[in-house]
Structure 1
Amino acid sequence: MSGVKLEVQWCPSDPNKFITWGTELYLYEVQNLNNVSAPWIKLSPTTGANLLATNSNHQYVKCVDIYPQQGSDILLAIGQANGKVVLTTFGPSKFDALGISGKDFVPRHARQCNSVLWNPIDSNLIVAGLNKDRSDYSILLWDVMKCPFANENSSSRLNSGAHHHHVTPTMEFSRPIMEIGMAEAAMSLSWFRTQPRTMVAGMNMKQLKIFDLRDPSKIVSTTMTKAVYGCVVDPNDDRQIASFVDNQICVWDLRNFDKPVLTSTQSKYVHKILWCPTRKNLLSSLQRDNSLIHLHDIQHVVIGNDDVEQAMLERSIVPGVSHNLTSYSWHPTDENRLLTIAMSGVISDYTVFERITLNWAPSPNLVWTHGKKTFKLINNPDFVFNSIGDISVKIRTRSLKDYGLKTELWKNAELADDPMLKSLWDWLYLSRCLVEEGSLKGTGSKHPGVKSILKSDASNQNNNSTCDVIPWTDVGNANCVVKVYRSEERDKALYLCGWRFDKDFNYLKLFLERLELDNTFSKAATIAVFNLKIRLGIDILNRGAEKTNNQNLSMVAMALSGFSDERNSLWRQFCHTSLKNLNDPYLRAMFAFLTADESYDLVLNESGVAVEDRVAFACIYLSDSKLSEYLKQLTVSLTEEGNLAGLLLTGTTSEGLNVLQKYLDRTGDVQSVSLIAIRAFPATLLKELSVQEWITSYRNLLDAWHLWNQRALFDIELNSGNLTEKPPQQVYVSCNYCGKSISAYMQAINRGRGPFARLGSSTNKLKLSSCPNCRKPLPRCAICLMHMGTASSCLEHLSRNEDDSKMVEYSSWFTWCQLCRHGGHAAHMTNWFRDHAECPVTACSCKCFSVDSC
């Protein structure tokens, strides 16, 4: 690959080929790296290119364009510094037989060729834009079909759509069929796609002119501007033109050609601009000495019948790792794909990623656009949701199991798939049981917190705890003692923490046995040591080592058996320095307690130990002032973390709402916070704005999933806590003629009031077949064809031996399709749709049964 490649262009005739040129012309073919072992050059991580041919026969190349007809051989039109336009190929082709390849189009006066273009529709036409000459034209149009063929009797055609010309060898070859712009300079040219005989030209460094070649003497339109360089017509919209000058890019609209509709000022001089052929209203630009491609997304806004001033969104992309890009080219068919070439000769194949809008449905379905015609979808069966643990999938799965709605709170813990939630539901069950049995008298709450029981707020501190000195019962040294604090409030707090074994050793043994059944031997041993039962802790560790074959537990038991309370003992020093080597947080907390002097900070701040165990430890070994301060700090820490264990401290108070809000912010689990609020918090706090937002969000989520039964059960549970307020009626049956509520009249009839009180007997209650207000007949049932409200033969039993005060059974209720509005008695419609999916009304093709398929 010799020489410097300054320009690059995709071949419109073959989308897998492209050319580069500088001092020489090169033809490459793009291949997938999976299909080729050693490509000539690597374009991207997935594509490479092989060099097919080289053409070094032409010097002073200024511009090149490729013959646009798809499926044909590659034919190049080369504009040179002397104004000559040469047709050439990379080897033998069908153009050789037509006598086209190698032909020259020479102007009368030599000057630089600024632009050469094949007509994209009438591909036998080629136009060149030249510098100014005071005695010659600057725009020359040739018809390559008028040149002599190799066989002058041949009637072969280069383009089947072009007019046939009978030519002779004596015809002047280089004479153009049309000349425009005497004594002017054509700096840039561009064809219109939908008007193949119309073109726009940047003339004289001060004008944009539009020419209709059917009448070249008449200029269609013109505007005064210095932006005459790089003029390009939008291939997707012939009404849009772009051009540039210096560091300014102008976008023009033919409907208002007097001034540009958009002007964008760049930081450096503009080198090249191109419209993206596969994306509407996307203009790109390359600045000099720059490694970025700038994208200008033109936004059209219409309000009513008025077009609002256009806007432009700009962004930059870095294709590849090359610096100082000299040119680029959009792929003619592949969406948003382009080639770039740098001064160093490095070529990059790059695809521009669109700015996309994600749409995440509550179902959950994640949808986004991928190109112009494709949507990408990820839904809950997809492995992506399993890998990211999407909360909406968890919420829907729980909802189908009636999570949070079980009468017994501990059953909701079994449905929770999160240890934190499981612990909270278990604690709510425990606290409610303690309140109901009277163990927490005087709290005034169904779920009090430790802080409210201890009255540890700043305004009312509890200083009535007694300090006792308790000896270690399993240690031979009588001087080995520890200080503990006791009070009635502390005992209640221990109950809330699950430590209900302070006065009965059997309670402690039962509690530890449950922990052993769960294989949490280190936790059981630690709690035994916290309760000054070292020998019991050693036995638990030995049983754990035997059951789990974990020799580390037996080593810890051996270390624990050598406990000594002497401050300067070797055992104490060794354990204190070895704490950091223990991986189990409960074992760390155990030895931190045994080696503590007067501070228990290492135990209280051990995050791996459950909050309830740390709080229980604090209630035993901290003084009133230290306990109050610790609980305040712990509450703040747990609230900031959104740790639901904070409800152990706050209870179902306004502080507890803050814990739930932080948990919601962290996890997005609006289901759990809503259910916990309505199951545990008092009615006064349910009126808080934040709680109402949770409840509304969760109800809307259930509605979006069409989980009507779960939504109804949630609403029942929501209103069950406030029996004094009757829920307002939400569904009414109104007359189609007068609009009055039929149900309101029916209620008055059933109560024996109003002008129709005489119809209040149970025999007549189902026989009301007209509106009580206007006497118009009610709609007919689509099955039995009797007026709604009429006792049909299959419903007569409903009125027999029935108390007048009871509501009509559901089977005789009005029911109808929300699309076609046809319906009937609920029992009749249910029986119909057991065997049919279509509406029972004749000539109605509504698929009523499929409307609510979810």
Structure 2
Amino acid sequence: MSGSVIRASGWAVDNEDQYLAVSPSGEAVYLYQTSNKFNKEEDNIVKLHEKADFENIQCINYSGLTPGRTAVGQLDGRCLLFDIRSPENKSFVLKPLQSRSCNSVSFNERGLIAMGYDRGRQDHSIHVWDIGSLHRGDYGGKTAKIFNCINNESISSLSFCPTEPRNFVAGSYKLLREFDIRSNQPVYQIATRCTLNITVNPFSPFMFASNSEDGSLAIWDRRKLTESFQINSTYQSSSVSSEGPALLFSKLLSDYQRRTNGSPYRFSSVQTAEIGALFDGGYVRRWKIGYVPPLEHELAQYEHMVKANKVENPTFVPKVPKPSGSMFISKVHDTKTKYERVISFDYAPSKDAEYGIDLVCMRQSGSIYRMKVIDSQNSLTFNSFNDITFCGPDGVCSKIVNGGFGEGPHIVDQKTGNLTIRDDSGNFEEDNDHMGNKRASDTGEKKDIDIFVGDSDSACPIYESLLVNDICSTIRKRATKGYGVNANVNMEILDSMNTYETQLHLKNAWKWIDISYNLISAGKMHYADFDFGYLGVLGIWNMNKDFMNFNRYSGFDNITEKDVTSAARGIVERRARECSLLAKPVIGFTGKNHKEVQRRLAMYVIGWDFGVRELEDKYSNLIRDGNYERAAGWAIFHGDIDRAIRILSDSNNENYKIMSTAIAAYTAFKDTNVNNTWKDRCRQLASDLADPYLRIIFAYIADGNWWDVLDETALPLRERLGVALRFLPDSELDVYLNRLADTVIERGDIEGILLTGITMKGINLLQSFVDRTSDIQSACLIASFASPKYFVDKRVDMWVESYRILLNSWSLFSARAKFDIARTKLSKRMNEPAKAVPRQLYLECM
């Protein structure tokens, strides 16, 4: 075809490869040869010969048996056979009876040439000639044309089969067929659209590829096609095989080749099991094909079945094909071309190239150049210490991290045994001692090889800045500091580390677990045979649903929803006796309340049912720490506007004093629904102020709507839940809790564990949290408080096992043992002894 370049395998001269090229205009054929004696890429491929005066070349091929022998097919149907190494010699011209396009030409190892033509009325579409008869002077004679077949069909592509020189594969519009020149009947035929550009794999002659007009690429196995066709012919009397390709890429190839008339793909003639294709004239994508052999027991069963049947019937043909392996794509490499507007390429072997190959490319202008292939490394892996190791053609390179800081990379060159290190200038230093395991930092003068980030005054190595926020490093640091199931210790550890984006939310989650654990340890979440531990707000609000399914009842009698509610009421009444006077009524709205028990218990488990003295202590602590705005916000949350005014007016901040004066006007305007200047100014302040507590204070006093408080996402979730439980009616609270649960689960907000509890919804939240942060440490520690005590989930088991493997990989065996012990203790149910770990080692005397 015009505008293409192909490697002429078998034509090499003095280890220099030769390439055939057709000009983009389709009027000339060139012979190029590589020249490795030149160092410049511009000079390492040179043009040797040229033959011109062709007309609209449609296809080109060469004879691997006879170097120099070339054939081109033209649009007028003529196939010209000539020696490109002697372009002055006359060409043999082979043409059909009717003038029509010659679409494909192929040589075999026995001096035959096959041509595929467009459809003709009174002539076959495939002609096979004996080149030897042509050279003996029988040009056009009966002995020269030895085979022809297929009427009334256009042949788009054909190729001889290297393993069977008399056979060739041909593709028409919708059929792919293999012929033996000794018979006009096909060896097999398959219905497929992939009939264009049939190309045999040079390293596996049983495999060939073809593509379709929509860019789909199929790789076929002739052995499977032949076997399948025989089975169909024997048992189904079908002339068309139903066997599919060994590997199919749907609409893979770019349409760039159709626009430029270039070659769509190439089998690598340098590396085995590789195929490449050109995309957009700017890069070559190369696929490495892997192979999985069939299972041995399947092969044994098949062979046993065939052998047993042939004993009774020697002509037995199996109804099923022999088990075969499967192909898959193991690697994909994208190689950017040196110049743009490339219309064709082929592979070139190279001793100096990193991957052993170069590419020979043709540009749209017709120029040919050779380029090196520059790819990424073959394999890359991290370990739990964040050491990175990657391998490629130069060997293995490892980046070792010690104490969170990296050392210089060292490269073990497997080809030469040298240790090499690249500095910032791109040069290499070599260690002449040929010690493959020696570090680069040990060689003579130490080089500054790390890449730095930041300005000149505060620059730090890029690996150091990355490791600061790396979750694997964070988990290891926390584990060495004692991060475990003790919530108070965990909060102290989190306070000492400022490297995690969700640090505050994680601390709030551990705060709730600390509250819940203390309540459970004191027996305050048990009543009779009922256990309400770690249910969370949503679990308590819907506690009548599936209560029996999660091992929360240890009795033997059947229970009802009334029994569960009665047990919850018992816990609430016990709490009321402990706290004789609450700071404010639990219910802060007027109307019917059908779930007062659930509200009171939910506020209890999140620590929001303060007594008068407890709330005063909270105010005092906040004021002592200078958190006047938060103290005032808490007063608003408990419906105490006057206390909020006093807290702000008692501060030393003049702005707070002025704000307290503005808030004091609330009593004058709270009962009017008419907008006025005061309400407008409060709304303006609610949107302008930076502090979230001041924002919600002015938002609430302006409209008296608690949804303004609940929509303030900057507030801790515990405080928003406390407001919702106190002030929202049942119907609104139900909507709010379910909507908020869906939101925190979707976002993986770990603070949402207060809402979901450590329940099945809580595990969904933890899964989303792990997906977002990869923090399996916090996930498995939090989940261990309820699983397997109340329920078992495979995801928790996976996190636990992954965390144990991590701890072992860091040699933190003491931390892993403490984790195992703590998890066993947490799994102990009410009035049930802990289960002993089964014996893991047995000794037997022989």
If the length of structure 1 is used for normalisation, what is the TM-score?
A: 0.53
Work out whether 1:712 is the aligned partner of 2:817: yes
1:102 to 61, 76, 88: 88
Q: CA deviation at 1:571?
A: 1.7
**Structure-1 residue corresponding to 2:323:** 308
**Structure-2 residue corresponding to 1:596:** 703
**Structure-1 residue corresponding to 2:202:** 235
**Secondary structure at the residue paired with 2:624?**
helix
Work out whether 1:25 is the aligned partner of 2:25: no
Q: CA deviation at 1:584?
A: 4.2
Partner Cα separation in structure 1 for residue 840 and residue 162 of structure 2: 61
Q: CA deviation at 1:235?
A: 0.7
**Structure-2 residue corresponding to 1:846:** none
**Secondary structure at the residue paired with 1:592?**
helix
Partner Cα separation in structure 2 for residue 491 and residue 285 of structure 1: 63
Q: CA deviation at 1:422?
A: 1.3
Tell me, yes or no, if the aligned pair for 1:250 and 1:262 is still in contact at 8 Å: no
**Secondary structure at the residue paired with 2:625?**
helix
Tell me, yes or no, if the aligned pair for 1:240 and 1:252 is still in contact at 8 Å: yes
Tell me, yes or no, if the aligned pair for 2:31 and 2:50 is still in contact at 8 Å: no
Unaligned segments of structure 2, at least 5 residues: 9-15, 34-41, 230-240, 279-283, 303-321, 350-354, 407-461, 545-560, 670-674
- Aligned residues: CA RMSD: 7.1
**Secondary structure at the residue paired with 2:294?**
strand
Work out whether 1:426 is the aligned partner of 2:418: no
**Structure-2 residue corresponding to 1:586:** 693
Q: CA deviation at 1:175?
A: 8.5
**Is 302-311 or 711-720 further displaced after alignment?**
302-311
Tell me, yes or no, if the aligned pair for 1:528 and 1:537 is still in contact at 8 Å: no
Partner Cα separation in structure 1 for residue 170 and residue 493 of structure 2: 80
Q: CA deviation at 1:637?
A: 5.5
Q: CA deviation at 1:27?
A: 7.0
**Structure-1 residue corresponding to 2:781:** 675
Over the matched positions of the two proteins, sequence identity in percent amounts to 19
Larger radius of gyration: 1
Work out whether 1:730 is the aligned partner of 2:721: no
Listed as ranges, the matches of 1:283-432 within 5 Å are 301-304=293-296, 305=299, 307-308=322-323, 330-331=346-347, 363=384, 386=466, 394-406=474-486, 408-409=488-489, 410-411=491-492, 413-414=494-495, 417=500, 418-430=503-515, 432=517
Q: CA deviation at 1:572?
A: 1.9
Tell me, yes or no, if the aligned pair for 1:357 and 1:368 is still in contact at 8 Å: no
Does the C-alpha gap of structure 1 residues 285 and 130 become closer, same or farther in structure 2, counting only changes over 3 Å?
A: same
Tell me, yes or no, if the aligned pair for 1:363 and 1:705 is still in contact at 8 Å: yes
Tell me, yes or no, if the aligned pair for 1:231 and 1:244 is still in contact at 8 Å: yes
Partner Cα separation in structure 2 for residue 618 and residue 114 of structure 1: 77
Q: CA deviation at 1:589?
A: 0.9
- Deviations 1:551-581 (Å, cap 9, x if unpaired)? xxx4x76455333123355222222255334
**Secondary structure at the residue paired with 2:505?**
helix
Q: CA deviation at 1:319?
A: 13
**Structure-1 residue corresponding to 2:459:** none
Listed as ranges, the matches of 1:354-753 within 5 Å are 363=384, 386=466, 394-406=474-486, 408-409=488-489, 410-411=491-492, 413-414=494-495, 417=500, 418-430=503-515, 432=517, 493=604, 496-497=607-608, 505=616, 507-514=618-625, 516=627, 522-524=629-631, 526-527=633-634, 530=637, 531=640, 532-537=643-648, 542=653, 554=655, 558-563=658-663, 564-565=665-666, 566-567=668-669, 569-597=676-704, 599-618=705-724, 638=744, 642-648=748-754, 660=766, 663-664=769-770, 667-678=773-784, 680-681=785-786, 684-685=789-790, 691=796, 694-696=799-801, 698-699=803-804, 702=807, 707-721=812-826, 722=828, 724-725=833-834, 727-728=836-837, 730-732=839-841, 734-735=843-844, 737-738=845-846
Tell me, yes or no, if the aligned pair for 1:367 and 1:378 is still in contact at 8 Å: yes
**Secondary structure at the residue paired with 1:139?**
strand
**Secondary structure at the residue paired with 1:727?**
coil
Q: CA deviation at 1:420?
A: 1.6
Does the C-alpha gap of structure 1 residues 8 and 203 become closer, same or farther in structure 2, counting only changes over 3 Å?
A: closer
**Structure-2 residue corresponding to 1:182:** 146
Q: CA deviation at 1:523?
A: 3.7
Q: CA deviation at 1:341?
A: 9.4
**Structure-1 residue corresponding to 2:268:** 277
**Secondary structure at the residue paired with 2:843?**
coil
Does the C-alpha gap of structure 1 residues 114 and 375 become closer, same or farther in structure 2, counting only changes over 3 Å?
A: farther
Partner Cα separation in structure 1 for residue 224 and residue 541 of structure 2: 80
Partner Cα separation in structure 2 for residue 654 and residue 107 of structure 1: 80
Listed as ranges, the matches of 1:5-154 within 5 Å are 6-12=2-8, 19-25=22-28, 56-59=52-55, 61-65=57-61, 78=72, 81-88=77-84, 100-106=86-92, 138-141=128-131
Q: CA deviation at 1:234?
A: 2.3
Q: CA deviation at 1:533?
A: 2.6
Partner Cα separation in structure 2 for residue 529 and residue 641 of structure 1: 29
Amino acid at match of 1:106: F
**Secondary structure at the residue paired with 1:533?**
helix
Partner Cα separation in structure 2 for residue 84 and residue 629 of structure 1: 82
Partner Cα separation in structure 2 for residue 733 and residue 639 of structure 1: 45
Q: CA deviation at 1:59?
A: 3.2
Does the C-alpha gap of structure 1 residues 676 and 255 become closer, same or farther in structure 2, counting only changes over 3 Å?
A: closer
Amino acid at match of 1:423: N
**Structure-1 residue corresponding to 2:446:** none
Tell me, yes or no, if the aligned pair for 2:159 and 2:169 is still in contact at 8 Å: no
Unaligned segments of structure 1, at least 5 residues: 31-38, 40-48, 89-94, 147-171, 212-218, 287-291, 471-480, 544-553, 739-854
Amino acid at match of 1:711: R
Does the C-alpha gap of structure 1 residues 362 and 60 become closer, same or farther in structure 2, counting only changes over 3 Å?
A: closer
Partner Cα separation in structure 2 for residue 317 and residue 629 of structure 1: 51
Tell me, yes or no, if the aligned pair for 1:494 and 1:500 is still in contact at 8 Å: no
If the length of structure 2 is used for normalisation, what is the TM-score?
A: 0.53
**Secondary structure at the residue paired with 1:603?**
helix
Does the C-alpha gap of structure 1 residues 369 and 692 become closer, same or farther in structure 2, counting only changes over 3 Å?
A: closer
Does the C-alpha gap of structure 1 residues 440 and 185 become closer, same or farther in structure 2, counting only changes over 3 Å?
A: closer
Amino acid at match of 1:308: P
Q: CA deviation at 1:403?
A: 1.7
Does the C-alpha gap of structure 1 residues 22 and 718 become closer, same or farther in structure 2, counting only changes over 3 Å?
A: same
Tell me, yes or no, if the aligned pair for 1:87 and 1:103 is still in contact at 8 Å: yes
- Deviations 1:48-80 (Å, cap 9, x if unpaired)? x9999997533354543469899x9x9975456
Does the C-alpha gap of structure 1 residues 362 and 557 become closer, same or farther in structure 2, counting only changes over 3 Å?
A: farther
Count how many residue pairs are aligned between Structure 1 and Structure 2: 624
Partner Cα separation in structure 1 for residue 116 and residue 95 of structure 2: 10
Partner Cα separation in structure 2 for residue 452 and residue 133 of structure 1: 83
Amino acid at match of 2:268: P
